[in-house]
Every structure is written in structure tokens, then in C-alpha cells.
Amino acid sequence: MAQIATKATTADTFNVKATLAHNRLLGLWRLLKGYRPMYLSATLSLGVAALLMTGGVLLIRYFVDNILVRPDESFMTAALAVALLYVAMQAVRGFFSFRSNERAARVSESVALRLKDYLFDHLQHLPFAYHDKMPTGELIQRVTSDVDAIRLFFAEQLIGIGRIFVLFVVNFAALLFLHAPLALLSVLVIPIVMVLSLFFFRRVSAAYEDFQEQDAVVSRTVQENLSGVRVVKAFARQDFEKQRFEGENHKKFRLGTRFMTMHAIYWPFTDVLMGLQTALGYLAASLMVLDGQITLGTYVAYVGVVWWIIDPVRNLGRLIVQVSEAMVSYDRLSEVIRPDWEDMGYGLPAPVSQPQGRLKFEGVSFEYEPGKPVLHDISFEVEPGQAVALLGSTGSGKTSLMALLTRFYDYTGGRITLDGVDLKAYPRVFLRNLIGVVEQEPFLFSTTIRNNIAYGVYREVSQEEIEAAARAAAAHDFIASFPEGYNTLVGERGVTLSGGQKQRVALARTLLKNPRILILDDATSSVDTQTESQIREALDGLMSQRTSFVIAHRIQSVMNADLILVMDKGRIVQRGTHEQLMAERDGIYRKTYDMQASIETELERELSYVGLAV
Ligand SMILES: Nc1ncnc2c1ncn2[C@@H]1O[C@H](COP(=O)(O)OP(=O)(O)OP(=O)(O)O)[C@@H](O)[C@H]1O
Ligand SMILES: [Mg+2]
């Protein structure tokens, strides 16, 4: 039997879910775990850089007041010394600036890395019911742009706000040192700018949320269009799709423009305010120079310093707005992170460690959505090694019934037992290893055929094993006919397999896993009758040792089963062996048989008419 995975793969991944908090800032702070010292060091470096810059301005003040206005014979030497000191200060400032940016970038990239890693793993652990409802495009958008918004929060916004704060404190202190009343006069406008920022914080946040939601709609439309490209082409619906996309994209454009316009209004508005403030400060300072209250050097220093208070504060508005965007993204990510994982039961023992495969369904019912049952009162029994066939019109619930066995979904009524124990007592991971399913629409990864076949086992597999599985699935011959054989790449970068070839590779993949219980959901629907009987022969040997379920539409594929269940609208309407069911003259089974047989005779007649015999 296949070796069993008993461990969650994620033991060493940072648990983002544990950091979630209703207070978004608290949540973001927790997300920084492990990187806080580095982030602090980025902020401190920023402070050092700010100090050095303001120090430079004060040095110029010294130069003007003590050297420039009273030049003597040592002027050149003194000027050179000041110049050198100034350059040295700026070089060190440059270094700290770099260090601050570099550390902030490292922290923000690390947070994004950890978030994305977690999200990837998280999404693959969510139950089927979640994925049924959540469009893939939407999830992709959250894993990409919303994570990026969080990255920017740490890389630019938080540190940017820190920078404004530090610049303000350092330069305001310098101003107070230069001239206290002048300092107070120079910050009059700041409270007004703060209030304005806050106003924008509210308005723009709402606009951004709308924009971001529409952005998700656009991603989803692109994703769906690409997945369904064949249908679009086959129905020549390009124009319709184009219009649909353009409609959504235009809506995004309108929301984006609205959002950007709100941004754009802010700048000229604050430009005027800040211009007035600067003019007032410069005027007052010049008058003070004329009056002899301050020196020329102080004036020069004032002009240099005041700009470093006023200009950054203007950015506070922008940053606060961007923080609000990051908060929206945080909420959107929290929404994805909050749902619980499907409980795989890693490490838990199974109630029966080596089940024989005796299954009993007792009045089982199931609904995907409350109030809309798709299976009603299903009861039957299967002995180990028996083959059960499910036959029924499309939508009658065959796939749904099988999905209960692997616990992709849990049944809502009745009871299923495996070797006498309720199925719900078995850990999901155990059942997934025990049961092999060939899905109705198999999916192959864009890697080699060999890797695709070996996908389900947790160990090294030899070429012989791979080939044996492929032979049993009647896939060996066509694989061997490719120039690169088992190393042929599947999908976008390699060959495109036909529906029947894909089914056979998928079948080989499941057979290699050597499951105790085998489910073939329409697994041979795309292969011709001859190949199907080849597969059937090979499978007959394999299936005798395991309990198997075969879903098919052709009577030929099900007639050898030990038990045939005919389903209709979520119920079993007929049951028995082929002979028993054939005897029920008015049953669906007999009618289907007659119809399929007449189609076949018809076909044979026509083929012999054109000179081809089957
Ligand atoms: N994930 C789902 N969420 C909600 N309803 C679903 C889901 N999957 C299937 N259904 C519904 O359950 C019913 C049974 O579907 P199911 O896929 O089991 O049919 P089936 O017998 O396998 O059909 P087919 O022969 O076409 O494969 C259908 O009415 C279908 O609409
Ligand atoms: Mg189905």
C-alpha cells in the first residue's frame, strides 16, 4: 500500500492566522514578528540621517556668521575645513539613509514572502466548499496585489510616517534653538494640514476599496476568459467577451480615475497652503534680520530647516491615504486567511489501520448547500474486493456520492462505515491515501509524463513501476511513441494530450498509488471502445484485490460489476447484477441497454455499408 503522509507540511511555516487581529495595526505589528529589531534599526538610521542633515544646515549657519561675514587671512583654510566637514557629514548621512532604506526593504520583502508562502499553503488546505464559491481570479488577486499593498505599507508608508515624525522633531528642535517665536510661527498651518489629511483618509479609503474590488472583477474576467478560451472560440463569442471585459475594465477605469482625482486635488490645495506658510515665515525672518534680532546665518539656517518640516508634512496626507489602502488590503487578506483548514487529521491513528474495504451506506443523504439535497436515502453494501458500478443520467449525483468517500465533503445524513467504523472517524489524510480516484476531468501538471504519473506517491519510483502502471492504463504505447517517451513535457511547454490520453495518464497515476479502494469516475469516457476493453482487461486483474467503483455511461463498461446501482435525481432507483437488471423489462437499465445496443447495430450497419468493419 502507498506510504502514508502523516505530517502537515507546514510545521515550520510562520502561522499568519495566529497574528490576525481586529485592530489592523495590531495585526500588522504581529506580522512583523522576528523582524522588529531590524525595522527599529531602519527607523533609527533614519533618525541619524535626519540629525546629520540638520547638523549640516547649522554648520552653514556657523560658516556664514563666523567666517563669511568676517573674512580674515585664514578664510580659505577655514572655508575648506567647513566644506570638508560638510561633505563628510553628508557622506555619513548618505550611508545611514541607504541603511534605512535597505533594512526597510528587507523587512517588507520578508513579510511579503512569509505572507505569500502562508497564503499558498493556506489556500490548498481550505475545504472544497470554499473553492466552489470563491473565484480563482479573485484569490490570485489577493495573493498578488493585496500582499503587495502590505509590502508597501512596511517599505514606504510606515517608515515614511516615521521619517516625517523624525524630521519634524529634529528640525522643530533646531528651529526652537534658532528662534522660538519664529519656530512657532512656522508651524501654524500644520494642524490644518493634519485635519485635511484626515478628511482625505476617510474619503479616499472608500474610493480605493471600490477600485480594488473592481480590480478583482477584472482579474477574474481575464482568468475565466483564458480558462474558457476554447469555448469562447468554439462559439465565436469573442465580441461578446470583449464587450463584457471592456465594460468591467471601463468601470475600473472610472473608479481609478475618481480615486486618482481625489489624490490630485490634494496636492495643489496643500501647495497653496504651504506656499503661504513659507512666505509668512520668510517674511518674518527677513524682518527680524533687518531688525537685528537674528543673524544672517540664522536666516540662512532657518530657510534650510523650515523646508524640511513643511514639505514632509504635506506627504503625511498621501501616506495616511496609502495606509488606508493597506488597511483595506489587510481586511481582504484577513477574509481569506480566517476560514479554517480542512482537518486532515495528520498524525492521528486510523480506527482500523488496514481496512479491508468493506463499505456500508445506511440512508445517506447529502447537500452542498443547506436546503438543497442532492443525495437522498442512499443505502447499499460492498464487500472487500467487489466492484460496484454507478450508472445514471448526468446530474444524478454519482460524482457527489463518490466525493463522500474521500471526505471531500461530509455527508449530512445517515451513516457510511468502512470496515464497520464510521467514515468520519478516519482522518482525511488516511482516506485520501487509501482511496484512489481518477477524476472525471483529470488535471495534469505542466511537467513530464513521468512526473505526472509519479505524483501521488511519496517515494522514489523506478522506471519499471511507472511503465507497469502505464501499461495497465493502456498508456504505455502512446507514451513510448513520443520521441522523448516518459520525459515528454505535458501542457503549455510540451505536447498537448488528447482527452483520452490525459485520462489514461491520470489512470496510471492512480494505479501507481496502488490504493485499497479505487474510484473511476467516468475514467474511460474519452477512450474508444477497443482501448477501453484493453484497459478493462488489465484492470480486471488489479481490481480483484480491491474494492472498486466504476462510474460510466456505457452499459458495456459496467455489466461485469458485482453490483450495479442505477441512480436518478440523487436516489438509487434500481440495483442488482446485469442479469437481474436486464430482467426488469421496464427499468431504466434495460431501456438504456436496448437504446445503446440499437445505436451500435445501426453504426455497424452503416460502417459495413461504406466498407469498414469493426
Ligand atoms: N460543488 C457543488 N456545489 C453545489 N452543487 C453541486 C456541486 N457539484 C455538483 N452539484 C450538484 O449536485 C448534483 C449532482 O451532481 P454530480 O456531479 O454528482 O452528478 P453526476 O451524476 O456526477 O453527473 P455527471 O454524469 O454529469 O458527471 C447536480 O445537481 C449538481 O448541480
Ligand atoms: Mg460526475
Domain that includes residue 612, residue range: 590-614
Task: For residue 5, tell me if it sits in a domain.
Answer: no
Residue 354 belongs to some domain of the structure: no
Q: Are residues 332 and 408 in the same domain?
A: no
Residue 344 domain-assigned (yes or no): no
Range list of β-strands (E), 395-449: 413-418, 421-422, 435-438
SS3 493: coil
**Predicted local distance difference test score (pLDDT) of residue 552:** 87
CATH number at residue 267: 1.20.1560.10
Instruction: With respect to residue 18, please indicate whether it lies within any of the assigned structural domains.
Output: no
Number of Cβ within a 10 Å radius of residue 577: 15
What is the pLDDT at residue 201?
66
Instruction: Kindly list the protein residues whose Cβ atom lies closer than 6 A to any atom of ligand 1.
Output: 132, 368, 374, 392, 394-400, 440
Query: In terms of domains, do 326 and 371 share one?
Result: no
Same domain, 373 and 319: no
**What is the pLDDT confidence band of residue 496, given thresholds at 50, 70 and 90?**
confident
The secondary structure of 504-564 as a DSSP string is: HHHHHHHHHH--SEEEEESTTTTS-HHHHHHHHHHHHHHHTTSEEEEE-SSHHHHTT-SEE
Residue nearest to atom 17 of ligand 1 (CA): 399
**Same domain (yes/no): 250, 381:** no
Question: What is the pLDDT, as a whole number, of residue 1?
Answer: 39
**N-to-C CA span, the chain:** 40
Nearest residue to 398 via CA among 511, 520, 220, 536: 520
Q: Percent of the chain having pLDDT more than 90?
A: 54
Pair (396, 286) in one structural domain = no
Of 386, 389, 380, the C-alpha closest to 553 is 389
Give the pLDDT mean for 321-326. Answer: 81
Q: pLDDT at position 603, please?
A: 76
Could you give the percent of the chain with pLDDT greater than 70?
97
What integer pLDDT is reported at residue 613 of this predicted model? 53
Give the least confident one: 26-35, 377-386, 518-527.
518-527
**pLDDT at residue 406 in the model:** 93
pLDDT per position as a tens digit, 84-138: 999 999 999 999 999 999 999 999 999 999 999 999 999 999 999 899 888 888 8
* 16 grid coordinates: 499568519
Query: Does some domain include residue 130?
Result: yes
pLDDT in tens, 533-571: 778 777 777 777 889 999 988 888 888 899 999 999 999
Specify if 196 maps to a domain. Answer: yes
Q: Is residue 174 a part of any domain in this protein?
A: yes
So what's the pLDDT on residue 227? 84
Q: Calculate the average pLDDT of the chain.
A: 88
Same domain, 415 and 298: no
pLDDT in tens, 214-262: 988 998 899 889 888 888 888 889 999 999 999 999 999 999 999 888 8
Instruction: Point out the domain boundary residue: 337, 367, 395.
Output: 337
- Ligand 2 centre from 200 Cα, in Å? 53
The residue that leads in pLDDT, 193 or 45, is: 45
Ligand 1 test: best mutation among 374, 551, 569, most atoms within 8 Å of CB?
374
Residues 403 and 387 in one domain: yes
pLDDT at 484 > cutoff 50: yes
Q: Which residue lies with its CA nearest to atom 7 of ligand 1?
A: 368
Same domain, 402 and 297: no
- Best residue for ligand 1 mutational test, from 400, 412, 437 (most atoms within 8 Å of Cβ): 400
3-class DSSP assignment, residue 267: helix
Q: How confident is the model at residue 493 (pLDDT cuts 50, 70, 90)?
A: low
* Smallest-distance ligand from the CA of 568: 1
More confident: 155 or 522: 155
Ligand 1 atom nearest to 393, measured from its CA: 25
Question: HSE (CB half, 13 Å, CA atoms) of 551?
Answer: 23
Q: What is the pLDDT of residues 449-466, one digit of tens each?
A: 999 999 988 888 999 999
578 with 608, same domain?
Answer: no
Given the CA of residue 396, which atom of ligand 1 is nearest to it? 21
**Res. 15 pLDDT band, cuts 50 70 90:** confident
Residue partners of 66: CB distance under 8 A and separation at least 6: 297
For residue 398, the domain's CATH number is 3.40.50.300
Q: Identify the residue with better confidence: 613 or 137.
A: 137
* Of 504, 486, 498, 477, residue with least CA distance to 447: 486
- Do residues 480 and 594 both lie within one domain? no
> Measured in angstroms, how far is the CA atom of residue 59 from the centroid of ligand 1?
78
Q: Is residue 19 part of a domain?
A: no
Pick from 596, 565, 597: which is nearest to 578 by CA? 565
Spacing, Cα 395 to ligand 2 middle (Å): 7
**Candidate from 68-72, 129-133, 212-216, 296-300 with smallest mean pLDDT:** 68-72
Cα 436 to ligand 1 centre (Å): 20
When mean pLDDT is compared across 31-35, 303-307, 308-312, 346-350, the lowest value belongs to: 308-312
How, if at all, do strands 435-438 and 517-521 pair? parallel
- Using the predicted structure, report yes or no on whether residue 2 has a pLDDT greater than 60: no
User: How many domains would you assign to the chain?
Assistant: 3
pTM as predicted = 0.81
- Both 503 and 559 in one domain: the answer is yes
Tell whether the model's pLDDT for residue 270 goes beyond 70. Answer: yes
Domain shared by 302 and 392, yes or no: no
Residue 3 has pLDDT above 70, yes or no: no
Q: Which of 130, 399, 568 to mutate to test the pocket of ligand 1 (most atoms within 8 A of CB)?
A: 399
Q: Report pLDDT for 353.
A: 86
Question: What does the radius of gyration of the chain's CA atoms come to, in whole angstroms?
Answer: 36
Check residue 4 and give its pLDDT: 46
Report pLDDT digits (tens) over 566-609. Answer: 999 999 999 999 999 999 888 889 988 888 888 878 777 777 77
Instruction: Compute the distance between CA of residue 573 and CA of residue 278 in angstroms, rounded to an integer.
Output: 87
CA-closest residue to ligand 1 atom 28? 395
Give the pLDDT confidence score for residue 434 in this predicted structure: 93
